[in-house]
Structure 1
Amino acid sequence: MGASDFSNLPHIGEALRRKEDYRFLTGAGNYTDDITLANQSHAVFVRSPHAHAVIKSIDIAEASKMPGVVGIFSGKDIEGKMGGLPCGWLINNPDGTPMKEPMHPILAIKKVRYVGDHVAMVVAETVEQAKNAAEAVMVDYEVLPALVSVADAAKKTGSTTLHDEAPDNQCYRWVLGDKAAVDNVFTTAAHITKLDLVNNRLIPNPIEPRVAIGSYSRGTDDYTLYVSNQNPHVERLLMTAFVLGLPEHKVRVIAPDVGGGFGSKIFLYAEDVCLTWAAKQLNRNIKWTAERSECFLSDAHGRDHVSHAEMAMDKDGKFLAMRVHTDANLGAYLSTFSTAVPTILYATLLAGQYTTPQIYVEVDAWFTNTAPVDAYRGAGRPEATYLLERLVSRCAWEMNLGQDEIRKRNFITTFPYQTPVALQYDTGDFHACMDKARVLADVEGYAQRKSATEAKGKLRGIGYSSYIEACGIAPSNIAGALGARAGLFECGEIRVHPTGSVTVFTGSHSHGQGHETTFAQVVAARLGIPVDNVDVVHGDTGRVPFGMGTYGSRSISVGGAAIMKALDKIETKAKKIAAHLMEASDADIEFANGEFTVKGTDKKIPFGQVALTAYVPHNYPLDKLEPGLNETAFYDPTNFTFPGGTYICEVEIDKQTGEVKVDRFTAVDDFGTIINPMIVEGQVHGGLVQGIGQALLENCVYDNETGQLLTGSFMDYAMPRAGDFPQFKLDTVCTPCTHNPLGTKGCGEAGAIGSPPAVINAVLDALAPLGVKDFDMPASSSRVWEAMQKGSAPQDVQAPSLAASTQGRPAP
């Protein structure tokens, strides 16, 4: 069944309310912290108060005597007994040598490397007892100088070394493209635009903090880990094979309802391993629930790039070549996917929507005394889009062209299109997205709105961003050649029950995307049964075949495609059963709208009758078919999918205070086939909020001398609120993906990818009359006001003086 055929089926494109929302809205959800096991104790972690220090000694004598204490573990208890947390992507240097991979122990051994590093785990009967005992653990530290800024790491200033394996603190250097060819183009270009910019560090902050429960059964020698995680099979694989050395089949990982992840719950964290390991040591079930302050300190952070970019153009503004250098902050240790984010997921997207013939990229990745940095909603794609779309708008202004005009002059128009940075786009219509966005945004009326704003004594600016995203990382063999240490397929199992209802088991996982509804729509549409007759099961390695989980907007395009392949097998077998029942050849059987018919006749039977026959085989071709109607399929994509779109933002800026108000925001996206437009709209809304939040409000700041996290709570780290946004105007264009059976492309990250440059371009457009030529996120009021006074933007987004006064605001 082709994508075009599928999109015409009932339930596809229907805005059904989410099946899962009833339990969430009525308090009936089952999150990890809702689970209470028998004989359950509680863990609290002693965390380093220093960014960089030698652990001289740990005294647990008094803490061990305190009421309720069951056990206390530190680095000496695990040293030499297990491996460190693994990194899932190997990056090689230009000379072929591998990146530096220092060990990341689950409890610090001899040294701590960031504020919040795990020093000890205290287990007690109650959380309060564990907290009291944790405060009594005495740690003697020898404090060392801290290296915090990635810019400082790149300058190789000072003598601070985090890991002996990387004496200069560099993890790797990675390049993509033909440097000589690009440099040659720059020597003859009519115009060159240059840009320095920072992509500010973010803290994910999902509503549900990280939670884990480790359990062990002496009777069966089995472990169970309940955890708030986006990919339980990968969590189990990494923990068993690389850290604990346990047989995989002896460990079950269950990820029930997950209250948001945005990438921060993809990873194998130290706490998960500690609880699993200690459950056997103590023969107790052990629960740990992170407090919000712990999340700020120890959840993997996102972004944190410092880049220089240049675009060479001809006299008409046609792009000829681009070169980019990026210094990427990896934090103190390598996290699960961290090395792929500034390389495979970033540099390969720098072509964007444009026909730039030559691109050369250099990436230097550095260790610093900060929390590990890894994938966060978009993972490399927002960083690439921010750099490129800021650069493109700067090119427009320098060439005296409109932001829309320079984009249209350089859009790709012929597909498939091979970019100079490895990826090949299969389909798209970038002009259609731009045209629809301009109409929806009422760009023709902008001049009138600008005059009205100026009459109020304020500034108005308009900003464009035309993004492209790569979703559903694939295929496995290519990813493997590029350093991936795991497959990138997905699994789907369809169990048709005797009454014709269906249970779907998927290796994907939901943390707010509505998979229980969307996947049910796909199955119901294909089988011609009611959506309510389809249940979806995910998140349990004991029930679901091996799958790769949810990240990178892969669920419907990869997980849904695996389900479609399983449905192909169901249909093939069901046709043979129907042919037997109607005394026809299975080659003459057609299936549509839940009925099997014999071509050229009026003979037909419903899907339910075939399902019942499969399990009550009184009239059944047992010599040819086994009873039952269950099928499993794996799907490994042949390419990424490539959503794209154009976003247009208008801002108003108060000259007296520097306050930036997003007055209008328009987003037109191409997601290919849309299964449920209501869910897609919700995903876009959420992404826009996160992206605009980065542009205007959010900024993770460490003290550059001590490595202390200055934005360690919502008092100092400003999260966006509903009142910060206008009513978004959304629309879509559809060019179906050509290489998956659904024609889908992925939508979960788009809003966070395309919106930050649109906002900052609008801010710069508004400030241009005052002489402000550059500005980095976040555009907080005081920073904008300071830029207006100076006629240029402050350059250091990590300046400690900006932490409390400009990033946060009091809680309501």
Structure 2
Amino acid sequence: MNDMSNPVIIKGGIGDSPKRTEDHRFLSGKGRYTDDINRPGQAYAYFKRSDVAHGVIKSIDTTAAAAMPGVVAIYTGEDIAKAGIGGVPCGWQLHSKDGSPMVEPPHPILAQGKVRYVGDAIAMVIAETTEQAKDAAEALVIDIETLPAVSEMRAATAPGAALVHDAAAGNICFDWHIGDKAAVDAAFATAFKIAKIDVVNNRLIPNPMEPRAAIGDFDQSSGEHTLYTTSQNPHVIRLLMGAFVLQIPEHKLRVVAPDVGGGFGAKIFHYIEEAAVTWAAAKLNRPVKWTCERGEAFITDAHGRDHITHAELAMAEDGKFLGLRVNTMANMGAYLSTFAPSVPTYLSATLLAGVYTTPAIYGEVKAIFTNTVPVDAYRGAGRPETTFLLERLVDVAAKEMGMDRVAIRRRNFIPIDAYPYQTPVALMYDSGNHEATLARCMEIADWNGFEARRAAAAQRGKLRGIGMSTYLEACGIAPSAVAGALGARAGLYEVANVRVHPTGSVTVFTGTHSHGQGHETTFAQLVADQLGVPFESVEVVHGDTAKIPFGMGTYGSRSLAVGGSAMVKAMDKIIAKGKKIAAHLMEAAVDDIEFKDGKFTVTGTDKSKSFAEIAITAYVPHNYPIEEVEPGLDETAFYDPKNFTYPGGCHICEVEIDPETGVVQLIAFTAVDDIGRVINPMIVHGQVHGGVTQGIGQALLEHAIYDETGQLLSGSLMDYTMPRADNIVNIHVGTESTMCTHNPLGAKGVGEVGAIGSPPAVINAVVDALRDYGVTHVDMPATAQKIWSIINAGINAGAPRMAAE
């Protein structure tokens, strides 16, 4: 116990970089992931999945499979239908331009009538071991009449194309728009120059280190269901699964998400396996466990990105942007995943202004059903797609205008004195300083010294290029009223319960959830800083709906800005109550009590009480203002933001290309981001490093490719290229902070900035390296084969072999 009259000197507060609290258990192998959990008497589930992309299920014969050793039960879509189990719901509703609601086909837990993508679950086999379940699944006799499939959006919308869902004419889910078309048309009518670009934002497969897993458990004596799952938001899973799928009252359904080994968005959503094992556990009255295999994850985890976009930018003679028009096709896959409709629309098109003062913007989005894995939010969720489009288009515009790439950006930046800034596409940015992040990034990257490095590379037979992106994103996905008006079917607040124990130590119960971000460290720093308690005396609890108040989980870089702000509000209540107790103990007026550095002091005197003394008094109220204040020191607060938060920044990438092989090598990467208040610089750097690495993966390596029959050709790590250590360079990270003006921390969010700012910086550098070949754009990923083909096509067309030759 601490000496309550002499509190420990505070360390590990805001701005410090203490080692991550959670790392000891992770590095020593003591982490507790879902697959580490084993319930007494559990059985094991294996899902038989479709190996064709589209077809009618004619029959399923389970006779032979059911007779195999160890088989406990086999369930099909027919069993699910008879049980009255609902389909997996979509959490976001949109309407088309004409006001009609989006087409929202049912998504059954197990396929009913038809299969619609390779990986669609047809049957669940439960056995005493996973191996027995797999063997029995292979013995199922399934007759599927194969139908024509559509795996590519343009093919899916062609006349006469096969329909993924009969209700979706032309395979269109919705046809949505935003902005002022008339104003944009008028701007283009007066334009001096028009820049145009077509871009493909390649489909990605998340591949977190920990595959998904789920364990359903049921207590017959109490009627309570428990689901252990790899989720970023256990309360949302409980809400969706309990209310819409299994019809289980919330007080009878507990969802536990223990340690989670990476999510990147792929573990936000409610998946069919979670509902299936929860239902089966109650039906069999024994726990049922399922763990995804890596190859299975490729065809079941929600994919990311997959947009095709045409954009045009109208410019005045001085290079000022006049108007922007954008037309996007967005792949939804075979079903609508939890947040899928929001990604290309309200999380993407509302950012079309970027960091620029473009006065007129009009965007159109057509969402398309295809016979592929459902597509949903992946790190950045819509903002990387828009940033890539804008930052490639701005480089094309600079070339069209004959202007320097930096100069045209500076000409069109939103000036710092224009904040708060209302964009033409709904959002109002509250703060930012784009010139500061640009200048700092250029300085660190030695932008002005690049041409000498380009010449030196040419002497070595290399093509060298440099590229930048200047971006802004929206985080937090709030406030709830606005999100609801935009189609969200849930509130998007956050909650925190701060429990001060009698000895002065603190436990925080938070509705956000960590899957690698270091919440147990960062949140402890908030508490240490605000309450003045030792960093080591703070415990952070998350991930269990039986322990924490209703919270919305972790995504959209909302943990600190929204979850942390809820903690601040709860601690404000703790301090306010503590002042009343302190005033009573020191016989002073409450208004005369101030709290600082862990002490309650009577203003203008040396009379004080430590935080620990107030804590013990709250729980041992022998001398206590009992008429005014209840015993105990335990407060809860909900925080619903007033606006999104808007991180931004500048990323600069330098590459070299070997013209003999087409291999792109990163030489240097610099990221300077404005994320508002920095709580832990070390964790910020780690988040940026991870995000940039993922962005580099998209820019140079990763691409989920389907053939015309709907077969995933890049369905393993042998075919889908993830970034490795030799693909990455030492990433230089800097911050230039302007505070968020509407949350108590001034925080904006950092989790996704790296993945948003880096892809266009990399591709801009690649295009710059290929400038002497007449290249104006390269679609991601810029693989060696693609670059080699471009170079050789240029050589065959008479382009110079090397810029220096």
TM over 0.5: same fold?
yes
CA distance in 2, matches of 1:151, 1:716: 24
Deviations 1:28-52 (A, max 9, x none): 0000000010010100000000000
* Partner residue, 1:804: none
Partner of 1:590: 594
TM-score, normalised to structure 1's length? 0.96
State the distance in 2 between where 1:151 and 1:463 align.
31
1:502 aligns with 2:529: no
Partner of 1:19: 21
Which amino acid in the other structure matches residue 207 of structure 2? Answer: N
Contact 2:159 2:170 in 1 (8 A): no
**Distance across 2 between alignment mates of 1:246 and 1:593:** 47
Confirm whether residue 450 of structure 1 aligns to residue 454 of structure 2. yes
Aligned-residue offset at 1:378: 0.3
Give CA-to-partner distance per residue, 1:581-624, whole Å, 9 cap, x none.
00101110000000010011110110000000000000011111
Q: What residue in structure 1 maps to residue 706 of structure 2?
A: 702
Asked if structure 1 preserves the Cα contact closer than 8 Å seen for 2:11 and 2:534, the reply is: no
CA distance in 2, matches of 1:9, 1:412: 39
Deviations 1:2-55 (A, max 9, x none): xxxxxx997111111100000000000000000010010100000000000100
Q: Does 1:481 align with 2:485?
A: yes
Counterpart in 2 of 1:353? 355
Distance in 2, matches of 1:317 and 1:767, equals: 24
SS at match of 2:484: helix
Match of 1:693 among 683, 693, 697: 697
Q: CA deviation at 1:153?
A: 2.2
Give how far 1:157 is off.
3.8
One of 556, 559, 578 as aligned partner of 2:560: 556
> 1:773: how far off?
2.0
Residue 5 of structure 1 is matched in structure 2 by none
Specify the alignment match of 2:769 in structure 1.
766
The residue correspondences of 1:376-387 to structure 2 (distance < 5 A) are 376-387=378-389
The residue aligned with 1:249 is 251
Q: Aligned ranges for residues 203-214 of structure 1 at < 5 Å?
A: 203-214=205-216
Matches within 5 A, 1:643-662: 643-662=647-666
Residue deviations 1:412-447, cap 9 Å, x none?
Answer: 012100000111110110000000011000012101
Matched residue, 1:607: 611
8 Å contact from structure 2 (residues 150, 161) kept in 1: no
- Pick from 89, 111, 114 the counterpart of residue 108 of structure 1: 111
Aligned length: 784
Corresponding residue SS for 1:491: strand
Rounded Cα–Cα distance in structure 1 between residues aligned with 2:683 and 2:85 = 43
Taking structure 2 as the reference length, the TM-score comes to 0.97
Q: 1:788 aligns with which of 776, 785, 791?
A: 791
The whole-number CA distance in structure 2 between the counterparts of 1:578 and 1:490 is 30
Distance (whole Å) between structure 2 residues aligned to residue 134 and residue 477 of structure 1: 47
- Residue in 2 that maps onto 1:158: 160
* Equivalent residue in structure 1 for 2:374, among 359, 372, 375: 372
Judge which range, 398-407 or 52-61, deviates more: 398-407
Aligned to 1:187: 189
CA distance in 1, matches of 2:396, 2:466: 13
The Cα shift of 1:357 comes to: 0.2
Per-residue CA distance 1:288-331 (angstroms, 9 max, x = gap)? 00000010011000000000000000112110000000000000
Q: Is the 8 A contact 1:50 1:114 kept in 2?
A: yes
Equivalent in the alignment of 1:798: none
Letter in 2 for 1:648: I
1:347–1:384 Cα contact (<8 Å) kept: yes
Aligned partners of 1:393 and 1:464 also within 8 Å: no
CA contact under 8 A between 1:148 and 1:368: conserved in structure 2? yes
Residue by residue over 1:333-381, the C-alpha shift from the partner in whole angstroms, topping out at 9 and shown as x without a partner, is 0000000001000000110000000000000001000000000000000
Distance in 2, Cα, partners of 1:65 & 1:367: 39
Alpha-carbon offset, residue 761 of structure 1: 0.6
Amino acid at match of 2:788: W
Distance in 2 of aligned mates of 1:512 and 1:142: 44
CA distance in 1, matches of 2:369, 2:232: 26
Mapped to 1, the partners of 2:228 and 2:343 lie a distance apart of: 27
Q: Distance in 1 between matches of 2:14 and 2:377?
A: 31
Equivalent residue, structure 2, for 1:50: 52
Following TM superposition, by how much is the alpha carbon of 1:95 offset from its aligned partner in structure 2, in angstroms? 1.6
C-alpha separation in 2, matches of 1:720 and 1:290: 22
CA distance in 2, matches of 1:539, 1:189: 54
Listed as ranges, the gaps of 5+ residues in structure 2 are 1-9, 797-805
Write the distance in 1 (CA, Å) between the matches of 2:125 and 2:728. 43
Quote the offset at 1:167 in angstroms. Answer: 2.9
The DSSP-based 3-state class of the residue aligned with 2:353 is coil
Match of 2:799 in 1: none
Aligned residue runs from structure 1 range 122-141, under 5 A: 122-141=125-144
Tell me the secondary structure at the aligned position of residue 299 of structure 2.
Answer: helix
**Partner deviation per Cα, 1:612-668 (whole Å, 9 max, x = no partner):** 000000001111111000000000000011000001111100011100011111110
1:573 aligns with 2:574: no
Q: Which residue of 2 aligns with 1:671?
A: 675
State the SS of the aligned residue for 1:107. coil
> For residues 651 and 168 of structure 2, what CA distance do their matches in structure 1 show?
42
Q: Is the 8 A contact 2:355 2:414 kept in 1?
A: yes
Partner of 2:344: 342
| Alpha-carbon distance between aligned partners in 2 of 1:344 and 1:9, rounded to the nearest angstrom | 41
- Is contact 1:772–1:788 with CA below 8 Å preserved after alignment? no
Contact 1:495 1:629 in 2 (8 A): yes
Of residues 516, 521, 524 in structure 2, which corresponds to 1:517?
521
Task: Write the distance in 2 (CA, Å) between the matches of 1:685 and 1:315.
Answer: 39
CA contact (8 A) 2:215 2:227 kept: yes
Query: What's the counterpart of residue 38 of structure 1?
Result: 40
Match of 1:715 in 2: 718
1:324–1:362: 8 Å Cα contact kept in structure 2?
Answer: yes
Aligned with 1:249: secondary structure?
A: helix
Aligned counterpart, 1:289? 291
Alpha-carbon separation, structure 1, partners of 2:356 and 2:627: 59
Q: In the alignment, which residue of structure 1 is the partner of 2:470?
A: 466
User: In 2, distance between residues paired with 1:713 and 1:9?
Assistant: 46
What does residue 230 of structure 1 align with? Answer: 232
Match of 2:307 among 300, 305, 308: 305
| 1:425 partnered with 2:439 | no
1:636 aligns with 2:640: yes
Work out the CA distance in 1 between the residues paired with 2:333 and 2:790: 30
One-letter code aligned to 2:248: L
**Deviation at residue 548 of structure 1 after TM alignment:** 0.1
Alpha-carbon separation, structure 2, partners of 1:673 and 1:749: 16
On the 8 A contact 1:328/1:363 being kept in 2, the answer is: yes
Q: Is the 8 A contact 2:156 2:162 kept in 1?
A: no
What CA deviation, in whole Å up to 9, does each residue of 1:468-516 have, x standing for no partner?
Answer: 0101011100111111100000000000000000000000000000000
1:318·1:410 contact (CA, 8 Å) conserved in 2? yes
SS in 2 for 1:36: coil
Question: Structure 1: which amino acid aligns with 2:458?
Answer: E
Which amino acid in structure 1 is aligned with residue 467 of structure 2? Answer: G
How far 1:725 moved relative to its partner? 1.4
Superposed CA deviations along residues 763-798 of structure 1, whole A, max 9, x for unmatched, are 1111110122221000000011111122399xxxxx
Q: Distance in 1 between matches of 2:143 and 2:397?
A: 55
Distance in 2 of aligned mates of 1:304 and 1:556:
29
For residue 465 of structure 1, what is the amino acid of its counterpart? Answer: S
SS at match of 2:513: coil
Aligned match of 1:68: 70
Amino acid at match of 1:102: P
Structure 1, gaps ≥5 residues long: 1-7, 794-812
Query: In structure 2, what is the Cα distance between the partners aligned to 1:17 and 1:198?
Result: 40
Given that 1:15 and 1:677 are in contact with CA atoms closer than 8 Å, whether structure 2 keeps it comes out as yes
2:203 maps to amino acid: R
Mean alpha-carbon deviation: is it higher for 79-88 or for 668-677?
Answer: 79-88
Partner residue, 1:215: 217
CA positional deviation for 1:159: 3.2
AA at the equivalent of 2:495: C
Name the amino acid aligned to 2:180: D
